[in-house]
Amino acid sequence: MSGETGERLPALAGHQRRYLRGLAHALKPTVHVGEAGVTDAVAGALEDALERHELVKVRLHQPSAKKAAAAELAQRTESHLCGVVGHTVILYRRHPETPKIELPQRS
């Protein structure tokens, strides 16, 4: 699946990830990952949140491997991993029909 994700999602440039992290600063975590880790229910809730908001914070409670959990969340939802700050993961997926966030472009 990671091969599919890499082909479908063009990579974000560093300045775009930085811009999204800045936008996410004021957001509250929308999805919480508990002791059970990344479950189907968590992935479903994250899918819904990304569909509504495009940019989402996910709070990891008692993570054994933060970066692995963040990568799994991004892969399962076909979203961009913008960063991991503490126990919080920032994910972005552009809405296919009505995008709300305009990413900066460098010329």
Per-residue model confidence as pLDDT tens digits over 77-96: 999 999 999 999 999 999 98
The total domain count for the chain is: 1
For the stretch 11-49, pLDDT in tens is 899 999 999 999 999 999 999 999 888 999 999 999 999
Structural domain that includes position 30: 2-92
Residue 26 located in a structural domain: yes
* Bridge partners (DSSP) listed for residue 92: 55, 80
Return the sign of the alpha-carbon dihedral for residues 61, 26, 49, 82: negative
Question: Any idea what the CATH number is for the domain that residue 34 is in?
Answer: 3.30.110.60
Backbone angles phi, psi at 88, to 5 degrees: -115, 130
